[in-house]
Amino acid sequence: MSTKRISAAVRHLPRSRKGGLVAGALALGLAGALSAQTVVPGQFAFADPVRVESAAPQSFAAVVAGVKPAVVSVRVRSDSTPRMMSSRGGGMPGFEDLPQDHPLHRFFRRFGGEPFGGERGDGGGQRREEPRRYGTSQGSGFFITGDGYLVTNEHVVSGGSEFTVITDNGDEYEAKLIGADKRTDLALLKIEGESDFTYVEFAPDAPQVGEWVVAVGNPFGLGGSVTAGIVSARGRDIGAGPYDDFIQIDAPVNRGNSGGPAFNVKGQVIGVNAAIFSPSGGNVGIAFAIPASTAQTIVADLKNDGTVVRGWLGVQIQPVSKDIAESIGLDKAKGAIVAEAQGDSPALKAGIRSGDTILKVDGETIDSPRDLARKIAGYPPETTVTLDVWRDGREQAIEVKLGRLQEEARAAAVEPTGENTAFVDSLGVELASAKSVGAGDKGVVVTDISGDSAAAEKGLKRGDVILEVAGQQVDEPGDVAGAVLGASESGRKAVLMRVQSGNATRFVAVPVAKG
């Protein structure tokens, strides 16, 4: 009601009610002034609360009607290894090994069956190969082109010899495997001779946490099932592979949904459903989808030649903890620290060395080792990239020409032997020269360690080989003690050690006492 209408209404009321209504109008006016952050003398001004318009759709029916014909069930047939069986076994391998008084023997004798073949009681028979057996599994997938290319998970098609695609209307087609990438759990299938399939597109932008998501797939072999929820989180690392960057959703996803799409409300694919977290094996509201950006890149490579080629830097890396950051002079824990540059790797040839902390790749900030791995893998081999590294207390740029990703070489395990040890009280560790105990030509071996020491809390253990302390190579226990003392006298809260544990090399920041 406007101010003029309020005044007019007041004139027609008795005097006793006019006062109350005017007071109420003044109160409303004051509240409005306060909500608009107008400061009234002697009063407090309050900021407006956050108000967001709801974007909840009234129905997902239109989205589902548009995308559902593009979603398929994928049936995979795999050969099992033939087994040897006896002609006496009646299809039950190992039956002939049962004792004669076993209940199964009495069962067949009583009911006239002949589990052993031949005449009753002959006990004969020959060993023969069991007929080939086949296993069948099912998953989901979706068309990305009208001529029959479709995406699914690598773990859905793994080990398969025959692939059958069942569309939403029940039509069945034989498909061939174009290629699969185990590292990202993606695979590409193709139906030959058809060109009129309904297909969907990948979303150009990453979804935001809280956005609606619709999952369509083949849970438990039911086919064509639709569920809805929201994007719960992004950037999830679930330990599935070196490039984990999953979208977490709470749309109900179950066994058989693997390889199926997760859509936004525009009908675009934001991710490929790949895994669930579930103690029971069924949906508990936590599912993980491979981002559309990852799927697009991998599918393009698979479509090109059936393989995925990635850039290779050739370094062992680890996260930069607060202790490590402090020990090397970084203002905050960021980037990925190089534990070791592998032999004959692009990194080693470019001058990257242990202790370097990689902060950026071609100007893009590196948040973690996994982030670095994803960025490097996104480049094709022979690409030259610029790495911003932290070395000797300052940042510098190094150009590296990437190689092709290959399996990492494994170093020999190191175990301490012999005597000639010395105890470093400041660390709570007993050390011996690697040479003196036959554990190699470099470093100092941890032959014993106090369970309540700071070194033990940071993960050092018996058998580890300390290669460097505070950037200096160490070959004797005294080298370690001296470097720790130097770090303490310089005011460092921790000293950085490069440690070899079995096949891996890593950095450990061990706290030290001042002075």
Does 421-511 match 311-404 at the fold level?
yes
Quick one: what percent of the chain has pLDDT higher than 70?
74
Asked if pLDDT for residue 96 goes beyond 50, the answer is no
Burial class (CB in 10 A: 0-12, 13-18, 19+), 231: buried
Q: Do 455 and 510 meet the contact criterion of CB atoms below 8 Å apart?
A: yes
Would you tell me which CATH number, out of the four given (3.30.1360.40, 3.30.360.10, 2.40.10.120, 3.30.70.20), belongs to the domain 60-82+128-308?
A: 2.40.10.120
Asked if pLDDT for residue 347 goes beyond 50, the answer is yes
Asked if pLDDT for residue 485 goes beyond 90, the answer is no
pTM for this entry: 0.61
Interval 104-155: pLDDT, tens: 445 445 544 444 444 344 444 444 555 555 567 889 999 999 999 999 999 9
At 147, is the secondary structure helix, strand, or coil? coil
Asked if pLDDT for residue 363 goes beyond 90, the answer is yes
Q: Which CATH class is domain 311-404?
A: mainly beta
> Alpha-carbon torsion 421, 424, 428, 431, what sign?
negative
d(CA 177, CA 151): 10
Q: Across all residues in the chain, what is the average pLDDT?
A: 78
Nearest to 421 by CA among 449, 451, 459: 449
Task: Quickly state the pLDDT bin for 514 (edges 50, 70, 90).
Answer: low
Interval 32-51: pLDDT, tens: 444 444 455 556 667 777 66
Catalogue the active-site residues.
155, 185, 258
Asked if pLDDT for residue 259 goes beyond 90, the answer is yes
Give residue limits of the domains in the chain: 60-82+128-308, 311-404, 421-511
- pLDDT for 488: 75
E strand or H helix at 246? strand 246-249
Asked if pLDDT for residue 496 goes beyond 70, the answer is yes
Burial string for 93-129 (b: 16+ CB within 10 Å, else e) reads eebbeeeeeeeeeeeeeeeeeebbeeeeeeeebeeee
- Return the DSSP state at 366: P
Task: Quickly state the pLDDT bin for 84 (edges 50, 70, 90).
Answer: very low
Would you tell me which CATH number, out of the four given (2.30.42.10, 3.20.20.70, 2.60.120.20, 3.40.47.10), belongs to the domain 421-511?
A: 2.30.42.10
